[in-house]
Amino acid sequence: MSLWAWILLACAISIATKFLGFLVPAKLLDNPRMLRVAGSLTIGLLAALTAVNTFASGQELAVDARVVALLVAAVALWLRAPFLVVVALGAVAAGVARLLGAG
Amino acid sequence: MAIATGLYGLSFGALSVAAGLDLLQIMALSLLLFSGGSQFAFIGVVAGGGSGLSAMSAAALLGIRNGVYGMQVNVLLRPPRWRKLPMAHLTIDESVATATGQTDPQEQRRGFWAAGIGVFVLWNLFTLVGALAGNALGDPARWGLDGAAVAAFLGLLWPRIRAREPAAIAVVCAVVTLIAVPLVPPGVPILIAAVVAAVLGLSGLGPATEGLEPDVDPYPDGVAGEPDAGRSESAEGPRIVRETGESGVARQTRGRRQVGTTQQPGVPRQFGVLRRSGIARQTGASQPPGGRTDA
């Protein structure tokens, strides 16, 4: 399937997921286990995405300029910088690290 | 909220270009998928060379929390049947946070629609601007846009980690992902991490409701409540507070954000997950009037 097909399928699933929430009985909300899974899924996926985008290069692991971006972003977040500032700093950090010769 | 949403959309647009999507595909994601975290997940997998199937799965799994939001909105606002579909589409972190922060049903409804429509318009507008800007920039590696992606994902993860348990889940999932990278095709490691996270959550090790915060705090510190005060019911600035009433751990360990918050008597327990707390600690006496009990 083309990327387009996957995009449209992802959109359909997103709408269906939200709509499903409107259809199921409210009793489900009292189930802490379900909330746990939804929460831990979110955290696990975002952690995995962070790791892959930092260290994966195709099917290989690499330590390059992106690690600098990760560290700079972490410091910015620690200092409670707004989201776009964090993202921009990540870009600048990776760019500068590359200029200085880091992979 | 406008600024935060706009900047968030801007980064999504620019990073999508770097991931190799064309303008129409990017806009389709923002218009139809309309869930920041899931959209970032989709382009994150694509950027890493993952298949469309992996990208779609990551987006779908990250969107599960929207189903939880949908349940909350449905219970809270009790919409007529014909209105459920448009409301479902506008069910995102910001609109849910705004609605659950009100106590008056009419205000809840108004807050939901105002925030939902407002964010939808801004999100798509700034996605477009970001995508156009990203196209103008050119070679992503040279400009460090891959570093921007790293920072974006860390930025999405960061506010969700306030206690030891979510931090442990994050570390375990990151390690599992990296171990899997050389062994399976691109994109699949993320799905393996999702399975691990789900198992951890199911086994009760996970956080009760950690991870269900908004992607981007729509009311960043210092901006909150001031420029918008009195203009709309959403100006007050929501803080998502977890309060399940069954686990004191998360509550105790996240004191940083809870400073200055107060309980909302009379709000049913199940809404506590997304209960909005006041930001009196920031705006002090400048709280706009409006009959809320949380200030």
**Least confident range of A2-6, B143-147, B217-221:** B217-221
Q: How many domains does chain A have?
A: 1
Phi, psi of B254 (to 5 degrees): -120, 40
Contact (Cβ atoms closer than 8 angstroms) between residue B41 and residue B149: no
Cα separation, B59 vs B37, in Å, equals 8
Chain B residue with minimal CA distance to A84? B7
Whether the CB-CB separation of B150 and A50 falls below 8 Å is answered with yes
- Residue B187 pLDDT > 60, yes or no? yes
High-pLDDT (> 70) share of chain B, %:
66
| Shortest Cα–Cα distance, B283 to chain A (Å) | 18
Residue type, A41: L
Q: Does residue A53 belong to any structural domain of this protein?
A: no
Structure tokens at B193: 């991490």
Answer yes or no: is A39 within a domain.
Answer: no
The answer to whether residue A103 is domain-embedded is: yes
For chain B, what percentages of helix, strand and coil (3-state, to nearest 5) are there? 65, 0, 35
CB contact under 8 A, B74 and A7: no
- Write the residue in B89, B147, B206 that is nearest to A40 by C-beta: B206
What average pLDDT does the segment B94-99 reach?
85
A20: in domain: no
CA dist B68 to A82, B71, B81, B162, Å? 26, 5, 18, 20
Interchain CB distance below 8 Å, A17 and B157:
no
Q: Which residues of A touch B91 (CB under 8 A)?
A: 18, 21-22
Query: In the block, which residue shows the tokens 């459920």?
Result: B84
B179/A contact by beta carbon, under 8 A:
no
Confidence of residue B209 (pLDDT cuts 50, 70, 90): low
Q: Which of A25-34, B153-162, B265-274 has the lowest mean pLDDT?
A: B265-274
* pLDDT confidence bin for B205, thresholds 50/70/90: low
Q: What pLDDT does B175 receive?
A: 97
**Residues A63-88: tens digit of each pLDDT:** 999 999 999 999 999 999 988 899 88
Q: Which residues of B touch A100 (CB under 8 A)?
A: none
**Chain B contact present for A2, CB below 8 A:** yes
Residue A51 in domain = no
ipTM of the complex: 0.91
Mutate to test the interface with B, among A2, A31, A43 (most CBs of B within 10 A): A43
Residue A73 lies in a domain: yes
Q: Tell me if A98 is assigned to some domain.
A: yes
Q: Is residue A5 part of a domain?
A: no
Q: Which of A29, A51, A83 sits opposite B4 (nearest CB)?
A: A83
Chain A environment of B196 (Cβ under 8 Å): 44
How far apart are the C-alpha atoms of B234 and B260, rounded to whole Å? 19
- Residues B279, B101 contacting (CB under 8 angstroms): no
Instruction: Please identify among residues 8-27 of chain A the ones whose CB lies closer than 8 Å to any CB of chain B.
Output: 8-15, 17-24, 26
**Selected residues 207-266 of chain B with any CB under 8 Å from a CB in chain A:** 207-212, 216, 220-221, 244, 246-247
User: What range defines the domain where residue A69 resides?
Assistant: 63-103
The reply to whether the predicted model has a pTM over 0.90 is no
Q: Give the sign of the dihedral formed by CA B18, CA B24, CA B28, CA B31.
A: positive
8 A C-beta contact, residue B93 and residue B34:
no
- A and B: number of Cβ contacts within 8 A: 369
Q: Which site among B21, B69, B72, B153 would you substitute to test the A interface, given the most A Cβ atoms closer than 10 Å to its Cβ?
A: B153
For chain B, say whether A62 makes contact (Cβ under 8 Å).
Answer: no
Q: Closest to A42 (Cβ–Cβ): which among B65, B72, B142? A: B65
Rounded to a whole number, what is the distance in Å from the CA of B1 to chain A's nearest CA?
12
